[in-house]
Structure 1
């Protein structure tokens, strides 16, 4: 790609659609070991650039996770400002993550077979 040239909008949309499809499970995975607050989740996702997202995407997703029973919240006092809302995995969220984790390798391998021209020989 030439410097300054815009990337193909279809490429951006494709990555965006992939991210939307797995972001919920990446967030659940981040909550697997310990509760986290929103900015902490944003930072952890940004550590992998393809998963970086915005507050405008993350907070509605967290609300959906809470409403669907996959995550719960609690407030904790913060020494550096207002109380922080932490999100934690529920038993139902842990089960959903385990189910996704069980399906993911087969799904990933199936897509890789389509993408690798030599895989179907």
Structure 2
């Protein structure tokens, strides 16, 4: 397994929206999903996650309801709103364009001088 990578500023919201696009989840499930899908390369601090969820809820990108976990514990379950789904599509396209541009630059062979 590779060393953990820091989550780049501005990307956490997009990653959380992607996790929630699979269905409603509580905080621990979101963290577990992100770690599992990244092969353990993108650990997310609980405090950062809950700050992101609060921020996205305030912006109307996610909605939350109280529910009961598999362990019979009370937890807030988050789901993507229509606005959140639109934001995810927009940000995913921007990220893929950005990553493609950086990849082209980094993989281009130097010109002979």
Normalised-by-shorter TM-score class: 0.7 to 0.9
Pick one of 70, 85, 110 that aligns with 2:76. 85
> What does 1:15-34 align with in structure 2 at a 5 Å threshold?
15-16=5-6, 18=8, 20-34=9-23
Q: Are 1:42 and 1:53, in contact at CA under 8 Å, matched by a contact in 2?
A: yes
Root mean square deviation, CA, Å: 2.4
Q: Are 2:24 and 2:79, in contact at CA under 8 Å, matched by a contact in 1?
A: yes
Q: Are 1:113 and 1:120, in contact at CA under 8 Å, matched by a contact in 2?
A: no
- Relative contact order (alpha carbons < 8 A, sep ≥ 6): 1 or 2 greater? 2
| Structure with the larger helix share | 1
SS at match of 1:84: strand
Pick one of 44, 51, 54 that aligns with 2:42. 51
After TM superposition, the score normalised by the length of structure 2 is 0.82
Find the aligned partners of 1:40 and 1:26 in 2 and give their Cα distance: 13
- Structure 1, unaligned runs of 5 or more: 1-6
Q: State which drifts further: 65-74 or 20-29.
A: 20-29
Q: 1:88 to 1:62 in 2, by over 3 A?
A: same
Aligned residues: 108
Find the aligned partners of 1:62 and 1:120 in 2 and give their Cα distance: 46
Larger Rg: 1
